[in-house]
Structure 1
Amino acid sequence: MERKVKYNYDFKLRCVNEVLKKHKTVDAVSKLNGCHHTTLHDWIRFYEKYGKKGLLPRKNKVYSLPFKLKVIEAIDKDLLSFSQACLMFNISTKSVVMNWHRNYKKDGIRGLNHKTRGKPKSMQFKRAKKKSNKLLTREEELLLENESLRAELDLLKKLQALIQQEQNEKQ
C-alpha cells in the first residue's frame, strides 16, 4: 500500500516555477497555494539539486543500516542540519532523519534496526488440529464424545443462568 501524496507533482512544479522563474517570494507563493513555506523551500532545494526528478513522489523506502549510519555520521562529523542531510542523501523528509538520529542517540545501532510497522497481533489463536485419516480407537472416540458433551453442558448452564437472571430482573 502506497502512502497518500498530499501535493502532486504538477502542483510542486508550479509553485517552484513561481518562485524561481516569476521571482515571487516563497512566503507569497506558499500563502497563495496553501502550503507551508519550509515545505516550499525543501521543494526548491530538491529541484535545484535533482531537477524535476527531485519533485516526484517517492514510495516508502526502507533504508539499510549502513546507509543510516552514513547519514548520521555525516550529520555529526560535518555538522549538517537535518534538511541538508536530506538534500545530500536524497531522503524525502527530514522527520525520517530526525527519527534515526534520536533513536541512534538513545539506543545506539540497535535503535536503527528496521522495526515492523502496524498493529501487533494481540491474540495468538491455536490452530485446529487437522483430522487424520486413521481410525480412532474406542477410547479416543469416547474421550472426544465426553469433551463435546461437557462443552454442551457448559453452554446449557450459561443459557439457564442468563434466563434466570432476566427473570429476576423482571420481578
Structure 2
Amino acid sequence: MERKVKYDYAFKLECVELVLKKHYSSEHVSKVKGISKSNIIKWIDFYKTFGKVGLLSRKNQSYSIEFKLKVIKTIEKESLSLRATILRFNIPDQALIVKWKRDFAIFGVDGLRPKQRGRPKSMSNNKRKKRKSDKPLTREEELLLENESLRCQLDILKKLHALIQAEESTKKRKP
C-alpha cells in the first residue's frame, strides 16, 4: 500500500492558480505536477468555497460527536454526495465521513466517540505484582509452589534436550 503524500500550502495554491488564473485544465496540471486530478479538483473546490484558508492543512483535528452526527444526519436528509459534504462542512477527507457512517451504522452513537490512540495500557511494563501477605505460607502452599517450580525446570530441560537432538540430526545429515 502506498504512503499517503501530504502537500504543503504553497504547492496547493500554485496548482489552484494554474487552473483558475492561467486557465490550464486540471488534467494538464495533474500531469505536469505528477499528482491525481481528483486532488486538484478538491483543492479548487475548497479554494472557491473557503478562499486561501480552505487550502490550509488541518492536521490531527478532532471532531465532536455532535458534529459527526450532524454530518451524518445532513447526508441522509439532503442526500448529499461525499464531495458536497466535505465542501459544506470543511472536512479534509472523504474517508473520514465514510468511516463515521460505517461506525454509526454498526455501533450507533457510541461508534462516533473518540477512540483511544496509541499503545493499550495493558501492554505497559508495569505488571502488577502479586501482593505478599504478612501471613506465612502453609505447608500445602509451599509444596504447591515447589511443585510448580519443578514442573517449569522439567519443561526447560525437555526443550533443551529436543534442541540438542535436532542439532545432532542436522549434523548427521550434513557429512
Relative to the length of structure 2, the TM-score reads 0.72
CA distance in 2, matches of 1:87, 1:58: 14
The CA RMSD over aligned residues, in Å, is 3.8
How many equivalent pairs are there? 169
Structure-1 residue corresponding to 2:158:
157
What per-residue deviation string (whole Å, max 9, x for no partner) do you get for residues 22-51 of structure 1?
Answer: 122222112211122221111011112222
Instruction: Give the 3 Å change call, closer, same or farther, for CA 142–47 of structure 1 in structure 2.
Output: same
Where do 5+ consecutive residues of structure 1 fail to align? none
What per-residue deviation string (whole Å, max 9, x for no partner) do you get for residues 69-123 of structure 1?
Answer: 21122122223221111011110012222333344455544554445567989x9
Alignment partner of 1:65 is 2:74: no
Instruction: Give the 3 Å change call, closer, same or farther, for CA 142–64 of structure 1 in structure 2.
Output: same
**2:155 aligned partner, one-letter code:** D
Matches within 5 A, 1:1-171: 5-105=5-105, 108-115=108-115, 127=127, 129=129, 132=132, 139=139, 144-167=145-168, 170=172
Q: For structure 1, which segment, 33-42 or 58-67, has the greater mean C-alpha deviation from structure 2 after superposition? A: 58-67
Where do 5+ consecutive residues of structure 2 fail to align? none
| Maintained 8 Å contact 1:15/1:29 | yes
| Maintained 8 Å contact 1:74/1:80 | yes
Relative to the length of structure 1, the TM-score reads 0.73
